Structure 1
Amino acid sequence: MAIWADSLFKKSKTTIMPYEIPTSLVTEGPFRTSRQPIYLGMTLILFGEAILLDSLITFIFPVIFIILMEKIFISVEEKNLEMAFGEKYLDYKKKVRRWI
């Protein structure tokens, strides 16, 4: 999912970097069901690793990852998207959930 989302950024010729202003609003592919499919994909990988390692303590890492992404990156990304696309992004935000 993360690779697919990354390819859509490249196809749209917009930045994938959270602290840069995007030039295109990507709403196709996995972005139809999640505003954060890359972080979602990474989180699923972390949960998968926790399951494979079969250790309760490893389940803390996906939770920490989600909290960090929310606080450090997603809030900045969403502000940049609102600045760049205004009402278009706000409409998208109303229709599509952040994670799933």
Structure 2
Amino acid sequence: MNTSIPRIPPPVLFLVGIVVMVLLNSYFPIGRWLHYPWRYLGIIFLVLGFSLGLGSGLYFRRLGTNPRPGAKATLIVTTGPFKYTRNPMYLGLTTMLIGTAILLGTFSPVLVIPIFFILVQTQFVLREEKLMEQWFGQPYLEYKKKTPRWLS
């Protein structure tokens, strides 16, 4: 497997996803599935996702390792949010996309979520895992065994 990380970082893919969601909602709305006031539930997902993503990145920095995709890790972070998921920053971005889709309330923006998820999974997560295995060996494999990639 190719372990080189794409130059376009996940937060940029996320922002492109938001723009595409808004455009799809504006120009190709497919069936309104959620009406006010229920659409405001999306704000909860946005806040949770933002908190998880930003908090995880800050946690990484506090422990002295670089959160940038593909950057040489100095340690395996197994505490905080990383105790529950190996990818809390990506999970935070995905949760914010879900929140945006709920806020917009039509089916068309929902189409962006699996595309984003697949891109992050194939272009970042799997490649980063291979790098972590190369850098840390058995300790990382043990962490992989006990901590889900996303959520369990």
Give the TM interval when normalised to the shorter protein.
over 0.9
Q: State the one-letter code of the partner of 1:31.
A: F
Q: State the one-letter code of the partner of 2:90.
A: Y
C-alpha contact (below 8 Å) 1:6/1:16 kept by paired residues: yes
With structure 2 as the length reference, what TM-score do the two structures score? 0.64
SS at match of 1:50: helix
Runs of 4+ that moved beyond 4 A: none
Instruction: State how far apart, in whole Å, the 2-side matches of 1:81 and 1:11 are.
Output: 19
Q: Deviation of residue 32 (structure 1)?
A: 0.7
Query: Aligned residue for 1:9?
Result: 60
Structure 2 residue runs of 5 or longer lacking an equivalent are: 1-51
Alignment of 1:65 onto 2:65 = no
Structure 1 residue runs of 5 or longer lacking an equivalent are: none
1:1-100 alignment, distance < 5 Å: 1-100=52-151
C-alpha contact (below 8 Å) 1:2/1:38 kept by paired residues: yes
With structure 1 as the length reference, what TM-score do the two structures score? 0.95
Q: Residues 40-92 of structure 1, C-alpha deviation per residue, up to 9 Å, x if partnerless? A: 01101000100110010111111111000011111111011111111110000
Instruction: State how far apart, in whole Å, the 2-side matches of 1:75 and 1:21 are.
Output: 15
C-alpha contact (below 8 Å) 1:18/1:76 kept by paired residues: no
Q: Deviation of residue 20 (structure 1)?
A: 2.0
Q: How many residues align?
A: 100
Q: For the pair shown, which has the larger CA radius of gyration, 1 or 2? A: 2
Instruction: State how far apart, in whole Å, the 2-side matches of 1:64 and 1:39 are.
Output: 13
Over aligned residues, Cα RMSD in angstroms? 0.9
C-alpha contact (below 8 Å) 1:19/1:77 kept by paired residues: yes
